[in-house]
Chain A
Amino acid sequence: MSASYVWLAVAIYIVMGLAIAWVGRRHLGIGMSEFFLANRTVGGLVSALTYSATTYSAFMMVGLAGFTYQGGVGALGFEFTYLCGLFLAVYFAPRFWLVGKRYNYISPAELLADRYQHKGAGVVAAVLALVFLVPYSAAQLMGIGFLVSGVSQGAIPVMAGIIIATILAVAWANIAGLRSVAWTDAMQALIMIVTSVVVLFFVVYLGFGGFGSFFQRMESDIPGLLTVPSETGMFNFKMYLGLCVPWVFFCLSNPQVSQRLFIPKSVRAMKQMIGGFLCFGFLYTLVTVMWGFTARLLVPGLAKADMASPSLLALAIVPRFLAIIVMVGVMAAAISTIDSILLTLSSMFTRDIYKNLRPEVEEARELSIGKWVIPIMSLVTLIFAIWASRETGLQVMIVSLSVASSAGLLMAVPSIIGAFLWRRATAAGALVSMIAGAILTMVLQLGGYKPWGHWAGIWGIIVCSLLFIVVSLLTSPPREKAEEFMGYLEEELPKHRFI
């Protein structure tokens, strides 16, 4: 495909995104809550679409499709297991939402600091996010790079895609904070879902003659990819468990997602957010995995599995204009995830780290610092992405990178659950469990160690949970705060029929 058409499509996308972001800016008010949470007034549809676009991004159409290409049906189970982990959001979203409004929390780390009555709990949770979200953001940038390069058949280098995405993510996040991020997400999510479904139909009907023939080809040509473990050896039980456990807790462990639980303007909007996301997730996962299977049948033998989707889009049976729109849609979705992460990290740095060092800082100054954190973190992510994009093999595949990041973030989960459910939970328990769990996970990840074959996240969460319980039992809890916090929830939850 001519590079000039791809550049033109990217240019149109930039103009559209900028226009939407500037409309968002016209509604922008003053203060941290306004910039980072749109003043908790986001409607149901936009909440659902921004939640979807923030969660589903390059790691789906590039990473998960690549995983399917290489490992088969286990990718479907893994991603659907994540989706069903939204049970945790159904349970905890009302709790986040209620206490967020009552105590005016900006970030999930601030919630921990207040609930445990210890600033350190917030600082450690923020540092965990700052460290472990870098590989996840880098995975998004890599996805864009591979996609643009693949669709343009190498005319546009991987690096150009990565750099454009970084600049745009910084711009989207800075123009109007969550308002520009959420509104651009909404547009991008719609493009993602519509174009990916349309392309799947094109590929299945023009490449195979229909879904019946497609399924027959799967059974006759790649039967070894229809079981777990697959014939390639991927998705054995321990690998599956190692991938799924961090992913199940994704909606709690990833602050850019859990921060979304603060933003719906009403109970109705929260219902729409969760329901909309579940429908979106089911359809998008199924479509993505089928992309992976179609790519395996139509373009076998790729050296790098993450090139499955770009190679599929480059096939003659996919109309060129559609391939370009899909490329822009996936690119936009990836950028929307990065800008959400940048926005969340910015809020955590300013509220949970900087404000603890300078408690007297005025809100305007705090916000100004936050806006500077966005480009700095994006630069760190860019450097990581450039390094990772030059590597090959499973270790730096996009999904693996994302899971490694989720494994680290998982270490905050016992403290988050304990904050809502256990009066006896203490700051010391939270601190020790997060720090020890994160160090253990990093050592295992970086050293490539898998004791008894189990992945870092599994060992991390076991050790982290035990430490949280034992240290909490040995130390004194903030009884007054725990009573006030949980008593408020116990009183409010039944009023809205929340479980």
Chain B
Amino acid sequence: MDGNGSQGSNKRASRGWLMWFIFLFFLDLVVPFTWLSHVQKVTGAFLFWILWTIVALASMFAIFLKWR
């Protein structure tokens, strides 16, 4: 792949990941304050935020493990 090609593919990857993380932050702000706002259990917001973080961290690992 030439220089312009790899730069273009890089930009597409950046935008894709940016959209993904915006979606994750949207979930972070919406889910606990709406669907889980009356769930007074450990399986409510507590578990949601743990799982949400695991997904976000896994996404970050997927990005930087490719670095060379």
Query: Chain A residues in contact with chain B, CB under 8 A?
Result: 73-74, 76-77, 80-81, 83-84, 86-87, 90-91, 94, 215, 218-219, 223-224, 226-229, 237, 240-241, 244, 248, 267, 270-271, 274-275, 278, 282, 286, 490-491, 493-494, 496-499
Contact = CB atoms under 8 A, between A and B. Distances in A.
A282 B66 CA distance: 22
Nearest to B9: A494
Given A219-B41, A286-B50, A493-B10, A84 B25 contact: yes
A226 B40 contact: yes
Nearest to B13: A499
A82 B53 CA distance: 10
Contacts of A91: 14, 17
A270 B25 contact: no
A74 B52 CA distance: 14
The size bracket of the interface on B is: 35 or more
B56 to A, nearest CB: 4
Contacts of A74: 32, 45
A455 to B, nearest CB: 14
Contacts of A83: 53, 56-57
9 smallest CB-CB distances across A and B, nearest first, come from A223-B40, A494-B6, A84-B56, A80-B53, A215-B42, A77-B49, A499-B14, A497-B66, A87-B21
Interface in B13-68: 13-14, 17, 21, 24-25, 28-29, 32-33, 36-42, 44-46, 49-50, 52-54, 56-57, 59-61, 63-68
Contacts of B36: 227
Contacts of B32: 73-74, 77, 227-228
B28 A84 contact: yes
B10 to A, nearest CB: 5
B64 A90 contact: yes
Nearest to A225: B40
Q: Is the interface of B mostly helix, strand, loop or mixed?
A: helix
Nearest to A86: B60
A229 B33 CA distance: 7
Contact of A73 (B13, B28, B45): B45
B46 A275 contact: no
19 contacts: A73-B32, A76-B46, A76-B50, A77-B49, A80-B50, A83-B56, A219-B41, A219-B42, A226-B46, A227-B36, A229-B37, A237-B29, A237-B33, A241-B29, A244-B28, A275-B65, A494-B7, A494-B9, A497-B68
B48 to A, nearest CB: 8
A241 B32 CA distance: 13
A244 B53 CA distance: 14
Given A83-B57, A227-B45, A496-B67, 15 more contacts: A80-B53, A83-B56, A84-B24, A87-B59, A90-B60, A229-B37, A237-B33, A274-B60, A274-B64, A275-B65, A278-B61, A286-B50, A494-B6, A497-B66, A499-B13
A74 B33 CA distance: 10
A496 B57 CA distance: 21
A77 B28 contact: yes
Given A87-B21, A226-B42, A497 B28 contact: no
Contacts of A497: 66-68
Given A227-B37, A271-B67, A499-B17, A81 B60 contact: no
Given A73-B46, A267-B67, A84 B53 contact: yes
A116 B10 CA distance: 25
Nearest to B66: A497
Nearest to A289: B46
A182 to B, nearest CB: 21
Contacts of B9: 494
A286 B39 CA distance: 20
A161 B24 CA distance: 41
A77 B36 CA distance: 13
Contacts of B39: 226-227
